[in-house]
Every structure is written in structure tokens, then in C-alpha cells.
Structure 1
Amino acid sequence: MKKTRSENYITSLFEILIISTRLGFTSFGGPIAHLGYFHEEYIRRRRWMDEKSYADLVALCQFLPGPASSQVGIGIGVMRAGVLGGIVSFIGFTLPSVIVLILFALMLNRFNIGEAGWIHGLKIVAVVVVAHAILGMGQKLVPDLSRKAIALFALTATFLWQTAFIQVGIIVLSALIGLVLFKQNHENKDVKFNFPLSRGFAIGCLIIFFSLLIILPFLRETTSSYWIAMFDSFYRSGSLVFGGGHVVLPLLEREFVLTGWISEESFLAGYGAAQAVPGPLFTFAAYLGAVMNGWKGGIVATIGIFLPAFLLILGALPFWEMVRQNPKIKGALMGVNAAVVGILIAALYHPIWTTSILSPIDFVFAAILFSLLVFWKLPPWVIVAAGALGGWVLTLL
């Protein structure tokens, strides 16, 4: 019996929830590793997007403030099943680490899992997943010497000038180089997506984003409400950070440690826990909120820090489709995609490789996991489970 459109939509939402939740439980290693997990699950296995569209989406999210990996996940959910699909994708990917960090805050410093062997094994898994993603993206996105040179430039610049805005600068410059080098390109036409979002809705999201950025500080001063002040601090931190989760830490420290809302010891303990759990590092906000105001504070903090990212990606997606289909812009996007590969290679070495491969046996274990993933075609969740178990075994040797 043929399913109705409504039944197909519900099935799509349920599929997004299951997959994103599984990723939320298994995506260790930080934002670059998350992009590798997304690439493996959504692009290689399920082919929800083509390689170029995925790279374009990653590039767009690198431009926007906020957690890039979370925004990529939201964008994939939106293109699959509209706004509700984006919400479901976000909840599935984020909720596991939010719950864990709130529980950790409620049991503050009772135990330390940061040095556990299985955590080290999961770091090695992140090396494997990112390396696999880079190989796949590199074959499609840097096929010629010109784009290989752009990728090398991005890799070099990322290492030599490690500032909060260098990543955005690299992408802008690579776009300009691509615009000049590839203005006569005749590559195959990209797959076109029919976004279930209107430009009017997108503009509304952008208006809300900027309005909250202006109104919340005013309300904070006029009402003296603790909850509004707390929400404003998290919203502003999520709105003004480029470069991923680690860059938001100084902003959060300034907002909550220097103002006396939370002790430096508690702040650092939560940061260690956030490093040890899967999902986006921005969920560190859930821990901070829970330390200050229990589980309710954790929920308010999570909404506050992620809301800007959600509004920005919803506001940008419809215009992104218009831009990426413009023949004059395609050359620029070719340069940007090559730069993304270079940035990913840099991140593979530092911090992922340098904090994960600490001995020859770690390298051997990574090679085994890589072979299981690439040659034996085992699913990523099996690799994650094997990595956790293997990391624990290595501590016994």
C-alpha cells in the first residue's frame, strides 16, 4: 500500500532523529571530526547530498558565527525535511551530550573520566574518521594542480596564523582566487535542492537574530532579571564567536568566571568533561547553566547559546542556494571547497592527531581501524565501539 505524503514526511523525520541521535552518541573528537562523521553517514552511505553541495554547506557554516558542525547538521536536516527536520537533527545530535553534562554538573567532581582508556580510544577513532573524510572530499574537490595549491595555501595559513578570524580570512581569499582562476569553469551542474523555506521566512529569522542581540542587553539592564541576564550572556557568546567551540571558551569565562557566577575550578572541571563527551563543544553551556541553576539552568543555557546558530543557518540557506547556482559564483565556490580540504588536513594534524596518536601502538591501532572502515566497509558505529574497547585494552598492556 502506497504511503501518503504525510506518512513519508513522518518517516523522514523519524529517520533523521534515529541517525542524528546515533551520531550524537558516537561523534567524538570535536567539530572537524563531526564533519567527518556527517560525511560518512549522510554523504557516503545515504547520499542525501552530493560531495560539492556538502562542501558548500560546510563553507557556508564556516562563514557564520556559532558551532559549524551543529549548523551543518541542522542544514542537512532542513534540506531533508524542512524546519522541523532541522530541529529534529539538532535535538538528536545535541541532546546526548547536554544530558551527560547536566548530570555531570549535578555530580560535580565526583569522578574523573577524562583520562579513561576508552576516551583515548575514541580520540583515535576521530583520527580515522577525519582522515577518511579528507580522502573522499579531496578526490572530488581538489582534482587539479590549481586547487591542490589552494588547499596547500589554506593548510599553511591555518598553521602559521592561528587566530580566531584566520579561517574566515582564508575562505574569503580562496573565494577571490577561485573567482579569478575558475571563472571559465564548465564543471557539471550541481544538484539543485528545493528548499522548503521561503526567503521571507529566512529574512524573518535574520531579523529575530539581530533583534535579540540588541533587545536582550536592554532588557537585562531594565528588568534586573537573573534569567534574562543569564540568557543574554549565552546568546551573545553564541552570536559573536567565529572558529568553533574552543573559541567560545574565553567569552564564556569572561561572562561567568570573571563576574563571579561560577568558580574557575568548576569552569575548568566542566571543560574537561565537555572534551570527554560526544557532540558539539557548545554543550559546555549546559554544564555551566546546570552548575548555576540546576537542570533548568542547563536547558536555558543550551537554548541561549545555540539559538543564534539556528537562526543564522535558517536565514542563510535559501540565499545560499541562489548564490551557489550563480555561474559567476561557482568559480569562487571551487576555490572555497579546496580551501576547506586544506583546513581539514590542518585540523587532522593539530589538534586531532597530536592529542590522539601518542605512541607507535596508537598508530598501529589507528591503521587497523582505518582499514576496517575503508577496506572492510564496516559502519562507523562499529568503528566507534571497537575504538572504545581497544582504547581500554591498550591501557591494560
Structure 2
Amino acid sequence: MATDQIDQQQEEGTGGLGEVFRAFLKLGLTSFGGPIAHLGYFRDELVVRRRWLTEAAYADLIALCQFLPGPASSQVGFALGYLRGGLAGALLAWAAFTLPSAVLLLAFAFGADAFGGPIGQDVIHGLKLVAVAIVAQAVWGMARTLAPDRERATIALAAVLVVVFVPTAFGQIAAIGAGAVAGTLRCRRVDRNAAGHLPVSISRRAGMVLLALFLLLLLGLPAIAALWSLPELALFEVFYRAGALVFGGGHVVLPLLEMRLVEPGWVSADAFLAGYGAAQAVPGPLFTFAVYLGAIAEPGSNGILGAAIALLGIFLPGMLLLMGVLPFWDRLRHYEGARAAMAGTNAAVVGILGAALYQPVWTGAVSSPSDFAVALTAFILLTAWKAPPWLVVVVTLLAAVALGLVSQPV
């Protein structure tokens, strides 16, 4: 395998950090469709074509990133960059994959005032309807893969009940924790992941330091933000906590961010859903939605500074966890209890996202039969016709504008 990789590099005339940056910039500009689609793009470009690692090692890496909270596809990309070029390669891979969508969403945040007229309002409404279809697709797909049997479906239902009756961040954390416990007890039949070897050079001591830093920030930032009352620090704490508690991919961050930003009034509900819809129209990781939110958030740190704080805050915990756990993963993944707990956690995530599909996504977007028809059409385009998300965004926006023009008085 090593000889094959060297031969491939010589054949293409590439290698090193430049290759990492070019490969991930290409992926950052073309990877539409969300985290699952991103993993397919990574496999085609880096495993099949460039042969950076074996299929088994790639599957093992995906298993690790699904085990951890955070943006799974970005964590896989970060790890691939690390395996190829060390820490510098990891940072270049993350930057190249993330910045294209971050720049586009920052531009959308700055241009939001241009959507104040009737047509602009119809566009905003169309983006909110896109969010309904995208989140519904995520719930549908995740339920089929993460809650396929009665045990995990029951865990997902229990998570819905928990977050409905305890509509706070504590309720979401409790649902995830209860899912892990229930999974340990009832999900022991989950299949073992295919074995693979990841050539990790991080020592276990360094891994422990990174994990300690992750916990220190998670537990210490709320107290520090309360003591110093700096808007920049408060904004960083919101996004760090969201990034640290999200299992299951970018869509699941929606209820966490809605609770911390919309309910206190930092971001309006309409602006929140419009930005989430816009995030579906750009390639790259959905977590760059944070750039848009950081730019428009009210507690004083808006603009480019707020966007940068939000981007760093939401990605940092997942990367700290990934690099901290990598040295221990080969041993951990063989424990049946760890796999069962993760199965229960993933099922609980399905329930949390299902509750978010109703509130705030559905209630904030669908107010008429025509809204329902447009959202359902977008959902069918995504699921049955397998249309690319950017095309669904365009079709939905055109439909929303057309309905707005028809409904205007003559």
C-alpha cells in the first residue's frame, strides 16, 4: 500500500502540503449535499483516486468521527489532512474545505438588508421553506440508518418527549445522556466496524492534554463569560458549547443554536431560518452557518469579528476532541459497550432533530397550504429525485417569489 501511494504521488507529480490544500479546496468548492455526501466526495477523491489510505482505514476514521460530537465530515477532513501532512496539513485541509462556504455566507449576512422589499421578503421566505425540506430529509435519512429497529426508534421517541417537555439546553443534554445509557442496555447487537489502522503519531499524553483543554473550555467558559461580561467572550461561549454538544452532523446544531441565539433575542427567528436556508445553497460544511450568525448577532461582536469568533468557536471543540481521542481509538472501538452507547446516542439525536423540525423550522416557515406544497415539493426533489441541494434552493426560491407575486393585490 505504501508503494502504491508513492507511485500515485509520482504519477500525479504532487505531494505534501500543496497537494493537501489543492485537494481540499476542490472539495470545498464542489461538495454539496451535507455531511454524508461529503464523506462520499472524500472517498472518491482521496481514497479511490489519490489513494491516501485504505478503504478499511477510511471506514475506521469515519467510525471515530461519528462516535464524537462535532461536524463529522469536517473532522474526517481534518484527520485526513493530519494523516497526510501533520498538524499543518490538518489546518490547511480545514481552511481549504471551510473558507469557500464561510465567505459566501458572510457575503449573504452583509447583503441581508437588500432583502427588505416584497421580492426580498419572498426570497427570505423561500429560504425558510428550503430549511423545512432539508431538515425533514435529514430526519428521514438519519432515522432510517440510526433508528432502524424498535429499540433505537423507542430511544428516538423518548428523546422527542424529553426535549418537548424540557425545552432547554439541559433537556437536550439529558436526552443524549439517557440515549447513551439506554443504548448500553438495549443496543448490544450493533455490528462491529470493519477494522483498519490509522497511523497516528500523537502520543497518549498529548491526547490527554487536548482532552483536558476541551473540558476546561467547556466547563470554564460559561463562568468566565459571566464574570467578565464581554460580548465577544459570550459569543464564543455560545458557539463553543454548540460545537461541543452536537452529535450526528451539522443539521443537529440547529436546535442548540436556536435556543442560545433566537430565544435571548440575539438573532431574529426569521433571520435565523433564512440563514439556515442559505447555508444549503453553498458547498462545504453546514457548520459555516455559524459565520452568518456571528456576523448578525446582536451582543456587540457582529460583522467580520463576530463571524470569525463564531467560526472558531463552533469548530474548535470537535477538532480538540478528535486529536485527543485519536491515540486511544484503536483500543476503544473494539469495546462492545462503547459501540452500544454510541448507537443509543445517535438514536437520541434523531429524536432531538425531529423535535426541531416542528419547532422552530416548521412553525417558522409553513403558514399556508401553498407553503406546505412548496416545502413538500422541495422534499420530494431531495429524496426521490436526488436533486442537488443548490438546485432545490433555486427552484424553491423561484416558487416562493412566484407565489408572492400572484398573491399581491392588483
TM-score between the two structures when normalised by the length of structure 1: 0.69
What corresponds to 1:394 in structure 2?
403
Q: Please state how far the C-alpha of 1:52 moved relative to its aligned partner.
A: 11
Q: 1:346 to 1:19 in 2, by over 3 A?
A: farther
2:258 is equivalent to residue 246 of structure 1: yes
Shift of 1:59: 6.4
Question: For 2:390 and 2:398, how far apart are their aligned partners in 1?
Answer: 12
Counterpart in 1 of 2:156?
Answer: 151
Q: Does residue 286 in structure 1 map to residue 295 in structure 2?
A: yes
Give the structure 1 partner of residue 34 of structure 2.
37
| Equivalent position SS for 2:68 | helix
Question: Which residue pairs with 2:78 in the alignment?
Answer: 78
3-state SS in 2 of match to 1:377: coil
Query: Is it true that 1:359 corresponds to 2:368 in the alignment?
Result: yes
Given that 2:270 and 2:364 are in contact with CA atoms closer than 8 Å, whether structure 1 keeps it comes out as no
Aligned with 1:244: secondary structure?
Answer: helix
Deviation at 1:345, TM superposition (A): 1.4
Deviates more, 1:154-163 or 1:313-322: 313-322
Cα 1:156–1:268 change in 2 (3 A) is closer
| SS state at 1:165 partner | helix
Code of the residue aligned with 2:97 in structure 1: it is S
Q: CA deviation at 1:290?
A: 11
Matched, 1:342 2:347: no
Residue 369 (structure 1) aligns with: 378
* Residue 163 (1) aligns with residue 168 (2): yes
Decide whether the 8 Å contact of 2:207 with 2:324 is kept in 1. Answer: yes
Residue in 1 that maps onto 2:51? none
1:332 aligns with 2:341: yes
Query: Partner residue of 2:282?
Result: none
Q: Which amino acid aligns with 2:258?
A: H
Does the CA-based 8 Å contact 2:126-2:401 persist in structure 1? yes
Please state if 1:381 is matched with 2:390: yes
Distance 1:291 1:371 in 2: 41
Structure 1 residue 38: Cα displacement: 2.5
Letter in 2 for 1:120: H
Name the aligned partner's letter for residue 106 of structure 2: V
Question: Distance between the aligned counterparts of 1:138 and 1:293, measured in 2?
Answer: 36
Tell me the amino acid that sits aligned with residue 344 of structure 1: L
In 2, distance between residues paired with 1:113 and 1:59? 45
Quote the RMSD (CA, aligned, Å). 4.3
Q: Contact 2:123–2:400 at 8 Å: present in 1 too? A: yes
Q: CA 1:191 to 1:396, structure 2 compared with 1: closer, same or farther past 3 Å? A: farther
Q: Which runs of 5+ in 1 are unaligned?
A: 27-35, 62-67, 254-263
Could you tell me which runs of 5 or more consecutive residues in structure 2 were left unpaired when the two chains were aligned: 1-6, 45-54, 83-89, 246-254, 280-286
Corresponding residue of 1:194? 198
Residues 202 and 316 of structure 1 are in contact (CA less than 8 Å); yes or no, is this contact kept in structure 2?
A: yes
Farther off after superposition, 232-241 or 323-332: 232-241
- Residue 122 of structure 2: aligned partner: 117
Q: Which amino acid aligns with 2:398?
A: L
Q: In the alignment, residue 384 of structure 1 is paired with which amino acid?
A: V
1:161 Cα shift?
0.9
For residues 176 and 332 of structure 2, the distance between their equivalents in structure 1, rounded to whole angstroms, comes to: 16
Letter in 2 for 1:86: W
For 1:94 and 1:275, how far apart are their aligned partners in 2? 17
Range that drifts further, 9-18 or 161-170:
9-18
* CA apart distance, 1:360: 1.0
2:103 alignment counterpart: 95
